[in-house]
Chains A and B, each alone.
Chain A
């Protein structure tokens, strides 16, 4: 009798064990297929537009007249690229230099103080960055443009890039600090013992060792910047025109979707056009991520 119960107990445990491991597998599977479902959904919805017009025409034409059925996404793509690249150009060097300072020059308590500051920056809702941008950055850019001979309203590509660059600082800086800190101390010691100065050691050894990590932090920053919506939308001007300078208004892809989805859907194919712009976003961010991953692997092999 007792043996029987033990046997039942054993079988029960086995079933439970399998049951729970399958749950974990399902969860994992869900996460795995999620990006594909998203991508496929966007492709399916934008299919109407893609079938109707040539892909090249859609991507590289500047004619945006939804009422006439002309959908050229080039102004939005260019605006997005401008804002993203410019914000990374502002944020990248600033973050890298401050990460070097924090890890190699500053006292330990400064670094400790910095962590909550980073967390606060990361936690601020993006709409607050937007408001702050309108209050401070917009007049600043307007005045700066005027003094440089480019009078503008202040709602420009540059404004969007400045606000964005501040928004991605916490993410980029956080990774950079970790990456630079994990370079072994013995490596610096080796370089110093060869008679290198502190700066030479940082430049030739520490940064070189940390290079893959630096790339990945910038990659993350770019992906975030490219998709950021509200704060940029509030300060960037939202004028459908191919921007030719930083003091001109722009209209990035996320802003296009957020401004129009749900409102203009009575226009034929507009719905599909917005889905198509979401698809562009999706694809570009994926390419950015894969590109930086490739760079990481490539540079890790080199060092």
Chain B
């Protein structure tokens, strides 16, 4: 378990028109730990997460500057190979969006587009990743069924497996449990804790209790600024900033 930083965000600013959405973000995300980006709704958490794999490109109205280093490579540099970059990061969105195809194809999709087409290999990999998210036993008899026939909780785990299948280094999750029932949420949280042995995980959440349960490292944001960041233990037991103390007391919720 290294404390080395995986992602270094340096002087990141993001504007939409005249609105300053992210202000001078300056923070590092440690490797193979579970980092939680915490803060009230509308504080720029999701935008920060999306700029990590440059999904901000999809919104031409967003003007972004600064730099984000992943393994010494600047993500925001225009010469960065964007498909390779995105492959390094699995994304889990607020509510699950399974691709419009079968359960099997949802996992195989990422492998196929990266050139892996041998059927035997695909079958093995699909089983492997579905097992990793403890979905295999539930779906092994209906792999050809449409992915939308699964329950929401199962869909979210399928989306996680889909992200793992392209062998990322990082998992980005944007309030991944907000659409789920408590049991499915718990399953996802447990999976995260298991997966952080191998992956760097970044979870955006506004649920304080969830952050307390799973975080190794916390980045607290408010109104587009990083107010405080540090190891979870220090953050929760010994917050330095006034705003953090108030947030932890529940003043914002």
Show the binding face of A for B, using Cβ within 8 Å: 107, 184-197, 200, 204-205, 208-209, 211, 301-303
Contact A184-B97, Cβ < 8 Å, known A192-B55, A195-B86: yes
**Does A195 contact B148, Cβ atoms closer than 8 Å?**
no
Show the binding face of B for A, using Cβ within 8 Å: 53, 55, 58, 60, 83-84, 86-87, 89-91, 93-95, 97, 99-101, 109-110, 113-114, 146, 148, 159, 162-163, 165-166, 172
**Does B93 contact A190, Cβ atoms closer than 8 Å?**
yes
**Does A195 contact B99, Cβ atoms closer than 8 Å?**
no
Contact A187-B90, Cβ < 8 Å, known A194-B162, A197-B83: no
Q: Give Cα distance in the complex from A107 to B165, angstroms.
A: 34
**Does B55 contact A193, Cβ atoms closer than 8 Å?**
yes
Q: Give Cα distance in the complex from A133 to B244, angstroms.
A: 72
**Does B87 contact A195, Cβ atoms closer than 8 Å?**
yes
Pick the contact of B97: A107, A186, A303 (CB < 8 A). A186
Contact A193-B100, Cβ < 8 Å, known A204-B109, A303-B146: no
Tell me the minimal C-beta distance from A190 to chain B in angstroms: 5
**Does A187 contact B146, Cβ atoms closer than 8 Å?**
no
Q: Give Cα distance in the complex from A86 to B100, angstroms.
A: 31
Q: Give Cα distance in the complex from A209 to B148, angstroms.
A: 12
**Does A194 contact B146, Cβ atoms closer than 8 Å?**
no
**Does A187 contact B162, Cβ atoms closer than 8 Å?**
no
- Name 15 extra pairs, CB < 8 A, besides A196-B109, A197-B83: A186-B93, A186-B97, A187-B99, A187-B100, A190-B91, A192-B55, A192-B86, A193-B89, A194-B166, A200-B113, A204-B99, A208-B99, A208-B101, A211-B100, A301-B146
**Does B58 contact A189, Cβ atoms closer than 8 Å?**
yes
Tell me the minimal C-beta distance from A155 to chain B in angstroms: 45
Q: Give Cα distance in the complex from A303 to B146, angstroms.
A: 6
**Does A193 contact B90, Cβ atoms closer than 8 Å?**
yes
**Does B58 contact A195, Cβ atoms closer than 8 Å?**
no
Q: Please name all residues of chain A whose beta carbon is closer than 8 Å to the beta carbon of B113 when the two chains form the complex.
A: 194-197, 200, 204
Tell me the minimal C-beta distance from A269 to chain B in angstroms: 53
Q: Which residue of B lies closest to A185 (CB)?
A: B58
Q: Give Cα distance in the complex from A204 to B101, angstroms.
A: 9
Tell me the minimal C-beta distance from A203 to chain B in angstroms: 10
**Does A194 contact B163, Cβ atoms closer than 8 Å?**
yes
Q: Give Cα distance in the complex from A192 to B87, angstroms.
A: 9
Pick the contact of B99: A185, A191, A302 (CB < 8 A). A191
Pick the contact of A196: B83, B95, B172 (CB < 8 A). B83
Tell me the minimal C-beta distance from B155 to chain A in angstroms: 11
6 intermolecular pairs with C-beta atoms under 8 Å apart = A192-B58, A194-B109, A197-B113, A204-B109, A204-B113, A303-B100
Q: Please name all residues of chain A whose beta carbon is closer than 8 Å to the beta carbon of B100 when the two chains form the complex.
A: 187, 205, 208-209, 211, 303
**Does B93 contact A195, Cβ atoms closer than 8 Å?**
no
Most buried by B among A194, A209, A303: A194
Tell me the minimal C-beta distance from B10 to chain A in angstroms: 23
Q: Please name all residues of chain A whose beta carbon is closer than 8 Å to the beta carbon of B99 when the two chains form the complex.
A: 187, 190-191, 204-205, 208
Tell me the minimal C-beta distance from A204 to chain B in angstroms: 7
Q: Please name all residues of chain B whose beta carbon is closer than 8 Å to the beta carbon of A184 when the two chains form the complex.
A: 97
**Does A195 contact B166, Cβ atoms closer than 8 Å?**
yes
**Does A189 contact B93, Cβ atoms closer than 8 Å?**
yes
Q: Which residue of A lies closest to B100 (CB)?
A: A303
Q: Please name all residues of chain A whose beta carbon is closer than 8 Å to the beta carbon of B94 when the two chains form the complex.
A: 186
Q: Which residue of B lies closest to A302 (CB)?
A: B146
Q: Please name all residues of chain A whose beta carbon is closer than 8 Å to the beta carbon of B101 when the two chains form the complex.
A: 204, 208, 303
Pick the contact of B53: A187, A193, A211 (CB < 8 A). A193
Q: Please name all residues of chain A whose beta carbon is closer than 8 Å to the beta carbon of B87 when the two chains form the complex.
A: 194-195
Tell me the minimal C-beta distance from B195 to chain A in angstroms: 16
